[in-house]
């Protein structure tokens, strides 16, 4: 399958999936009208993440490279969305996407410890790029993500195996 062989195809696949899942969370499929902020539809985001987990589980793809491409796509989509919408930007679907990725990475058994740590470092790099100085409308989600119990303890651990 071409998705596994070409990193550009992998990136484009991830970007389209992120765009569609975020768009469907924010807007109705019927007429494209905006959903109320308290009634977003996260089914598309969760389905996308289930697809990612299945792809990672059944394929022999480089898992760190795949997750890095996914994080690049999330950054680009969030950047464009934040730039275009400014005051109308909604951080909730991005938070849901990233917290579910964090949970999936920490609860999956198909990452070896080294790959798990590399993916967490890539996620930390993404969080560094999404800092509140550049994306003020994402600041509450960012703070919640970097201080999450499934993220921060990995970087505060002082055991010899993690250094």
Any idea where the domains of the chain sit in the sequence? 2-162
CATH class of the domain at 2-162: mainly alpha
Residue 75 has pLDDT above 70, yes or no: yes
**Given this model, what pLDDT does residue 84 score?**
94
Determine the Cα–Cα distance for residues 139 and 91; give it in Å rounded to an integer: 9
Token pair listed for 119: 């993916």
Q: What is the pLDDT of residues 3-50, one digit of tens each?
A: 556 788 989 999 999 999 999 999 877 777 888 877 889 999 999 999
**Given this model, what pLDDT does residue 4 score?**
58
The candidate with the shortest Cα–Cα distance to 93, out of 104, 109, 77, is 77
**In the block, residue with structure tokens 């250094």:** 163
**Given this model, what pLDDT does residue 5 score?**
67
Across the chain, mean pLDDT equals: 88
**Given this model, what pLDDT does residue 76 score?**
97
**Given this model, what pLDDT does residue 3 score?**
57
In this prediction, residue 73 has a pLDDT band, given cuts at 50, 70 and 90, of very high
């Amino acid at each position: 399958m071409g998705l596994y062989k070409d990193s550009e195809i992998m990136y484009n696949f991830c970007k389209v999936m992120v765009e569609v899942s975020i768009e469907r969370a924010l807007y109705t499929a019927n007429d494209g009208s905006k959903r109320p902020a308290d009634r977003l539809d996260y089914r598309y985001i969760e389905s996308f993440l289930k697809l990612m987990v299945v792809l990672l589980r059944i394929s022999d793809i480089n898992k760190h490279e795949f997750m890095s491409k996914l994080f690049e796509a999330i950054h680009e989509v969030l950047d464009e969305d934040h730039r275009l919408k400014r005051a109308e930007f909604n951080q909730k679907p991005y938070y849901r996407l990233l917290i579910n990725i964090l949970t999936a990475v920490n609860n999956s058994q198909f990452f070896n410890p080294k790959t798990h740590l590399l993916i967490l470092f890539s996620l930390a790099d993404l969080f560094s790029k999404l800092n509140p100085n550049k994306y003020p409308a994402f600041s509450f989600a960012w703070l919640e993500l970097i201080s999450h119990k499934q993220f921060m303890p990995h970087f505060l651990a002082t055991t010899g195996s993690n250094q």
